Structure 1
Amino acid sequence: MGGTTWSDDHYRERARLRARTGSSAFAYDSDVKAGQAAARVHRQMDPLGVRVRESRDSDAHPTSHAVAVLMDVTGSMGQVPIILQANLPKLMGFLIRRGYLQHPQILIGGIGDATCDRAPLQVGQFESGIEIEDDLGKLYLEGGGGGQTTESYELALYFMARHTSIDCFEKRGRRGYLFVIGDEMPYPKVKPREVAEVIGDGLREDIPTPSLIRELERMYHVYYILPRLTCYWDNPVVHRRWVDLLGQNVLRLEDPAGICEMIASTVGVAEGVVDPWRVEEDLKAAGSDAVIARAVGKALGTTVKGHRDEGPVAALPDSGAGSGLTTF
C-alpha cells in the first residue's frame, strides 16, 4: 500500500462536499449506529487472518517512512475519538509541508477490549494519500471497554510487532513511528486465546507486555499520548504504568484537537528537524492555533531534551512475524 500521493486540495474539496451534503466523515460508525451495518469491525479494518500490513517504497515515494496511529475507542475516551478523527487527516500534509518526513505512510487503527468488545482491534493500511481519511471513516467507535482501567493495547502492539513490514527499517535501518492514544493501561500479557480469536495466530504461551514492547521498539519509536477530556487523564497509576513501559515517550496533551500537531512535532523532534525547546514557536510559525501550539509545546517540553533518532541501525533478522512463535 501507500502508492498514492497526498493532496491538500483534494482533502479540502472532500471537506467542502461533506459540508454541502451534510454527510458524515465517519460513515461506517454512523451506519452501525443507525442500524444500517452490523456492529463489528469493518471488513477492511479487520486484523483476523492478515499476514502483514506493509509500508513500501515506490517510484512516487522512494524513501517511505512508516507512521502508525492507534487510538483507544472505548467508553472512557468520551468524545475524544471523534475529535481525533476530525483532526488526524491533517497529519499527512503537516508532516510533508514542514519537512519532518518527506514520504510518510500513515496507518490508522482502533483499540478496544478483547475480553468483551465486538471490535477489540481495527487496523487499516499504510497510506500515502487521502486514503488515510477513508480508513478513519471505517473505524467503529464502539465505546465499550472493560471498565477496569485496562484495555487491549498489548494486542495492538502485538499486531504491529508481528504483522507489519516497513521498508524504512528493513532497507534503511530507520525505525518507524508508532503512536498509541488512550487513557488506560495495557493488560500485563498477551494471551494466546485472544491472539487466536482476534488475529488468528497460534501462540504457544503468554507474552509479557514489557517483553513485547522491547521487541516492538527494535522497529518503531513507540509513544503513548494521554489526552485531556478522557476519564483517566489525571490517574497517576495509568501514567506511571506507561512511564515504566516507555520512559520519556509518554506525552500528556491538554488539547485533543492538537493531535496532528502533537504527532508531527514529536516526529520532527525525533528526526532532528525541530528544536524540542522551540516547538510552540515552530507551530505558531506554521499557522497553528496559539492554544494548540502551547499545549503541544508543553507536552514535549516535559520530556527530556529530545528523542532524536540515533540514525540507521542494523536491520534485525526475521522475528517470526505471523508465525505465532515467541522469539526474543
Structure 2
Amino acid sequence: MGSGTWSTDVYDAADRYRRATGASAFAYSDSGARTAHTALDPKGIKARESRDSDEHPESVAIAVLFDVTGSMGSVPRVLQQKLPQLLGLLLRKGYVTDPQILFGAIGDATCDRVPLQVGQFESDNRLDEDLGRFVLEGGGGGQMTESYELAMYFMARHTSLDCLDKRNRRGYLFIIGDEEAYAKVKPNEVRRFIGDELGEAITLRAIVEEVRRKYDTYYILPAGSSYAGNTAILDFWRKLLGQNVIALDDLDAVCETIALTIGLGEDSIDLDEGLADLDEVGSGAANTVGKALARIGSGRAPLAHGSAPADLAAPVSVERL
C-alpha cells in the first residue's frame, strides 16, 4: 500500500458531491453498521505495511489511532474535515517527503462489538475512503479505561515499516483519547479481535516499550472529551510516554498539532517556524498548537527521530500476570 499522491482537488470534488447529494462522509457507520468493514478488520492481518517505492522512495510511516467511544466519536469527523491541512503542511511545507498515513479506531474490548479497526498506510485519497469506513460505535465501558493496549499490541506486532527496516528510523504513532489503558494485553482479547495465540498476558508498560521501538509515540488528550484536562489521565500517560503527552485546548487543531509534531521530529522546523507556517496557510490554530507543543517543542533534541532510545535498548519480555 502507500502508492499514489494526495490531491486536494479530488478531496474537494468528493466533498462537493456529498454535500450536493446529502451523502455522509461516514456512510458505512451512519447506515447502522455494527461490524468492522472488511478493509479495516484487524483479525487475521499479518501486517499493515509502509513500503518504499519508485514513487515514494523515502517513506515515513505515520499512524493516527483515535478513541471512538462516548464524546470521542467526533474525532474522526474532525480528522476527515481537516485532512487537507494535515497533508498540505506535511507535503507543501516539506516536513516529510513521502508520508504514508494509517488511521485506526479504538474502543473497549471488554464490551464493544468493534473495539479495534485499522486501515492501511496510504499516500493518496484512499485516506478519505478509509475514514469513511469506520464504525463510530460510541460505546465504551464507563470505567475511565479503553483498550489502547490492544491497539498498541497490533501496531507493535502487525505493522512493517521500511523507514525502520531500511533506514533505522522509527515511524510516528499518535493516539487520540481521553482515558487510561487497561493494565495488560489479554490473550483472550488478542485471540478474538486479532487472531493471535498469546500464551501469556503482556503488561501495559512492556507493550508500550515494544511499540516505542517501532514508533515515536504520542498521546493527545483533546478539549471537548469527557476527561479533557484531567490531571489523573495526563499523569497516567506521562508515566508511560514522558513528555510525549499533548493536552490540546481545541479538537479542531488536531491535524495541525500532528503535522507540527512530525515537522519537529523530522528536524524540518523549529516550533516558531511551524507556527508561522500555520499563520501562512490561514489555519487560525497557531495559539492552540503553540500552547500544546510548548512542553515538547522547545527544542529539537527530545523529539529526535531515529534509532530506538537508549532506555529501550534491552529486549522486552512477556510477563506473566
Q: CA deviation at 1:312?
A: 4.2
Confirm or deny: 8 A CA contact 1:6 1:93 kept in the other structure: no
Question: What is the RMSD computed on CA atoms of the aligned residues?
Answer: 2.2
Calculate the TM-score normalised by the size of structure 2: 0.92
Q: Which residue of 1 aligns with 2:27?
A: 27
Q: What SS does the aligned partner of 1:282 have? A: helix
Measured against aligned partners, the alpha-carbon deviations of 1:40-68 in whole angstroms (never above 9, x if no partner) come to 11111000110100000111101111000
Mean CA deviation greater in 298-307 or 231-240: 298-307
Give the partner amino acid of 2:307. Answer: V
Q: What SS does the aligned partner of 2:173 have? A: strand
Q: Give 4+ residue runs of structure 1 displaced > 3 Å after superposition.
A: 78-81, 306-312
For the pair 1:208 / 2:203, whether they are aligned, the reply is yes
Q: Identify the match of residue 293 of structure 2 among 300, 308, 317.
A: 300
Q: What SS does the aligned partner of 1:113 have? A: coil
Query: Matches of 1:9 and 1:231 in 2, distance apart?
Result: 36
Q: CA deviation at 1:234?
A: 2.4
Query: Matches of 2:282 and 2:297 in 1, distance apart?
Result: 26
Structure 2: state its 5+ residue gaps. Answer: none
Calculate the TM-score normalised by the size of structure 1: 0.90
- Where in structure 2 are the equivalents of 1:194-273 lying within 5 Å? 194-273=189-268
Confirm or deny: 8 A CA contact 2:76 2:131 kept in the other structure: no
Percent identity, aligned pairs only, is 54
Query: Matches of 1:278 and 1:102 in 2, distance apart?
Result: 18
Q: What SS does the aligned partner of 1:165 have? A: strand
Q: What SS does the aligned partner of 1:126 have? A: coil
Query: Matches of 2:299 and 2:51 in 1, distance apart?
Result: 28
Give the partner amino acid of 1:28. Answer: Y
Query: Matches of 2:140 and 2:68 in 1, distance apart?
Result: 8
- Where in structure 2 are the equivalents of 1:126-141 lying within 5 Å? 126-141=121-136
Q: Identify the match of residue 77 of structure 2 among 60, 82, 85.
A: 82
For the pair 1:67 / 2:62, whether they are aligned, the reply is yes
Mean CA deviation greater in 277-286 or 119-128: 277-286
Q: CA deviation at 1:307?
A: 5.0
Query: Matches of 2:283 and 2:178 in 1, distance apart?
Result: 25
Query: Matches of 2:299 and 2:152 in 1, distance apart?
Result: 24
For the pair 1:5 / 2:5, whether they are aligned, the reply is yes
Q: Which residue of 2 aligns with 1:92?
A: 87
Q: Identify the match of residue 188 of structure 2 among 188, 193, 196.
A: 193
- Where in structure 2 are the equivalents of 1:176-191 lying within 5 Å? 176-191=171-186
Q: CA deviation at 1:89?
A: 5.3
Q: What SS does the aligned partner of 1:51 have? A: coil
Q: What SS does the aligned partner of 2:167 have? A: coil
How many residues align structurally? 315
Measured against aligned partners, the alpha-carbon deviations of 1:73-95 in whole angstroms (never above 9, x if no partner) come to 00142534432332245422321
Query: Matches of 2:76 and 2:212 in 1, distance apart?
Result: 25
Q: Pick closer, same or farther for the CA change 1:86–1:304 going to 2, 3 Å.
A: closer
Q: What SS does the aligned partner of 1:244 have? A: helix
Query: Matches of 2:182 and 2:84 in 1, distance apart?
Result: 30
Query: Matches of 1:307 and 1:242 in 2, distance apart?
Result: 21
Q: CA deviation at 1:278?
A: 4.6
Q: Pick closer, same or farther for the CA change 1:268–1:198 going to 2, 3 Å.
A: same
Q: What SS does the aligned partner of 1:179 have? A: strand
Confirm or deny: 8 A CA contact 1:64 1:103 kept in the other structure: yes
Query: Matches of 2:246 and 2:296 in 1, distance apart?
Result: 8
Confirm or deny: 8 A CA contact 1:78 1:230 kept in the other structure: no
Q: What SS does the aligned partner of 1:284 have? A: helix
Give the partner amino acid of 1:301. Answer: A
Query: Matches of 2:142 and 2:202 in 1, distance apart?
Result: 23
Q: Pick closer, same or farther for the CA change 1:189–1:307 going to 2, 3 Å.
A: farther
Q: Which residue of 2 aligns with 1:280?
A: 275
